Structure 1
Amino acid sequence: MSELNPTFMDELKKAISSTRFSIDDFTYDGDEAGELLRIVFKYDNEYSFVLSEEGVIEEEPNLFGTGTISKTVTRLFSYESPGRYKKSSKINVNGFEYVSDRIVNWCENLHRELTLSGSDNEEEDVKRAIKEQFEFNIQNPESKFTKEEVEVLYSKLDSLYDKFKDLSERYQISESQLASLHDEIEKLKDSASMYKKGLWSNITRNKITDLIFTLLKSKEGRELIFDSIKRIGS
């Protein structure tokens, strides 16, 4: 069991209760050597918060001569999975009074990870479905577009932008987002005369799929623009 005082444990559990989670969503222990506390998410033990005291060697100036003196000091660390930027992070905690703050931060990271892990697979499935409907009918993919073919692509990309613009008010696409979209479409138009057909079609399909997800959050909005997409690929 944890070596921490019951009153301090109550404080840490109150910190958890202040987040999106309940204290009943976790187990609390400290089984392994050197661990003061181990908090594990009940529904996925990949996610945990471990508090430990460790001896570390530090160097300090030698007051009686040149160089430094090595000494071993005890420091407090938290091992947080997930971390803010990495799957697991080791944090030097300045004191026990800061542990509650670390736990709150960890819970925020956990919430973000759970939110994304659930939506990533769904989003990839939808993106895959969009790309399957958006296939270019490309002859000789290793060749480049002719001037006439480029002009046709320009017209189709302009039509796609107009479709987004028509949907802007209904689906709350802002002026700045439309301006950004216009810039992206202009870049796709520019690259049509420089890239090989097959390369351009792959890049464009991926880019337009990303634009759909960025600007049109609802399923209905995405479906409304499919016809314009198909016309570009035909």
Structure 2
Amino acid sequence: MIPRHPVRPEPPGILNLPAVAERRSLREQVTHALRAALVVGELRPGAVYSAPVLAAEFGVSATPVREAMLDLAKEGLVETVRNKGFRVVAVTEQDLDDFTELRALIEVPATLQVARSASRADLEPLRPLARETVAAARAGDLTGCAEADRRFHLALLSLTGNRHLVQTVGELRKRSRLFGLAALVESGRLLASAEEHERLLNLIIARDLDGVGRLMSGHIRHLR
């Protein structure tokens, strides 16, 4: 049973939501943007958000926002609150520790597998993604940084050829919430963390397995 929280609707004009582009349906765009905001903690655990308020933030009608929230409810990231909106499902400290451990158990050996088998031609297309993470970090764009980080790591893991592994890691990333990004901003280390992506790519291309293992392990755990 999910514990009850006090209903705290959020007033408009206080969120730092990513811009909505036009290359996907509105529902897909809003779902993607809300998921990114959830991952970095822009949408706070336990808080209730109404579709009209979020729609005003995006500059769209309430319908695609409501549909997007229903998609996120199916993923277990939010829950419906009758006549109020949607509450962000909280995750416990133990949950976050467990998700981090699972990611390390899967992603470190998978990245080492890529380092053993992938060619430079396979890896170089990931460099723009690594640099996009750095650009977002320099701009202080948490959601943009989290999204670029997600795309980089899932693209890297896709080089294992195991789509189920990629899907599993993608689900873990959704649920783990990268609250550590805010701490990295406060400590001034967000840029250094973002720059690790290109360092990781260079280590993989050099087939420095020890370096890859150390960097990847630290990269996952310092976000926690």
State whether TM-score is above 0.5: no
Which has the larger strand fraction? 1
Compare CA radii of gyration and give the structure with the larger one: 1
Using structure 2 for the length normalisation, give the TM-score. 0.25
Which has the larger helix fraction? 2
